Chain A
Amino acid sequence: MLGFGLFFFFQVVSGAVEQIALNYDSSFNNMVVNFAVPETKINTAECRYGNDPDNLVNTAVANGVTYTLKGKTSPMLFKATMTGLTPGNNIYYYSVGSKDFGYSEVFSFKSHPGNAPNTTFFLVGDIGQTTNSEETLNELIEAESMLATPSAGIVNAGDLSYANGRDSYWDTFGNMKQIAASHLPMMTTLGNHEWLDDLQFSFTAYLNRFDTPLVNGKRELYYSYNAGLVHWVMVAGYCSEMRLSSTQPCLAPDSPQFAWLENDLATVDRDVTPWVVVVFHQPYVNSNTAHDMKSEGLFSRYPLSLFDSPPL
């Protein structure tokens, strides 16, 4: 396992359907599944699901989109929402695909735990795609499988694929993380390597490849959700305005995100979710010399390099 020089180990998936990943949306009765199909123009597929792996009686429509960056078009990126699930970590099974390009194998997952006590969350950050990344996910999967108490998937604190504008890295990352994300929902926030992902500061790859719960019916870079006894607040430390700023514009006092954050924190029902946990990518309470905790300005001390991590 100590093959540190070998990058991009990933599970090869049979058939055309790949990069299968789950996430929660704002309903305890739902589970979202994302997947990709390369080199197709067909943008309709489906997710079959149910509690009997041999008889997937329910169907959710999957709609596909592509995006084009630097003349290169992404695979068809599908999203389907499984609805009507019974919360409480009940086991369900699903398969995604279509008659046109075939179906994936059948995967299992646990439904949303609801507000159950004793729920466990798994935390990862800066995962990338190396043999170490794979080791982290494998150990996490093993730890989750040994739980006798409820679980609520993975929380990812950002810096996902380290694509840095190389769009194919998102595909290899999607296939690597499938070992975990095909059965443990992964909730993401974005890091500087997502901010820089397409060199346009528009988060195109991130927004198209990762689904997150909506904020007042809209897709934003930030969101919150409930699971177990926890209200999770996923803050975006990066935004497109950052390109032109030497301070933190994403959370400026008059920014939409800051208004949302204050309101979100002020309205948490702590009888339901007594714990409030906030996630953002760049820490300020940290004593590592890699990112000095005292560096306040974004570009004031370091030149901006597109392939480096801007300190903040």
Chain B
Amino acid sequence: MQEAIEDTLYKYKVDLVFSGHVHAYERSCQVYKYQCTPGAPTYITIGDGGNHEGLATGWVEPQPAWSVFRQASYGFGALQVINSTHARWAWHQNADLIPTVTDDVMFNRSPTTNLNLRGSAFPNKQVTLKPIFSQTLRGELAQLFNQEALRHSVRQH
């Protein structure tokens, strides 16, 4: 798939790529050939809808530099495309019918900005470094739900 399509998506300045297949959530930086690259697509895996094969909980360690956020929990995403340059992406983690946003980022497609990198070199980026569970009942429920889901998941795919 990569050989077939990556150059074309980069050439035509595709902004975002969504895939499934892997039963977990993951978001990359703007990436081309596994290097964070301005103007390249951001890749998001959203294969965490909830099928019977369970969650995919094994990750390549250490986390590659291009992988900004990854977590094996059930959920879905919401992409609000605000205007020609900005879009808000929110990954919702299932939390027993309480809407809970665990990864929340503003994409900016204006050419001079924003790799959506993680790490302290980019302190102003709206990037979540690891799951943030707010100190509320909602956050605690999300955490409990996630632990429960992981306990019951079978590592097959």
Contacts and interface: CB of A to CB of B under 8 A. Distances in A.
A132 B50 contact: yes
Contacts of B18: 123, 125, 155, 157, 277-279
Interface of B: 1-6, 8-9, 12-24, 26, 28, 31, 34, 41, 43-53, 56, 58-60, 63-64, 66-67, 70, 72, 74-85, 87, 92, 94-97, 99, 109, 145, 148-149, 152, 155, 157
9 smallest CB-CB distances across A and B, nearest first, come from: A128-B51, A125-B20, A132-B50, A127-B49, A290-B56, A283-B19, A289-B58, A285-B43, A265-B12
A269 interface: no
B14 A276 contact: yes
Given A140-B76, A277-B15, A1 B21 contact: no
Contacts of A287: 26, 59-60, 63-64, 67, 70
Contacts of B19: 125, 157, 279-283, 286
A290 B22 contact: yes
Interface in A214-229: 228-229
A124 B76 contact: yes
Nearest to B98: A139
A291 B157 contact: yes
A268 B74 CA distance: 34
Contacts of A278: 9, 14, 16-18, 41
B9 A282 contact: no
Contacts of B50: 126-128, 130-136
Interface string A109-133: 0000000011111111111111111
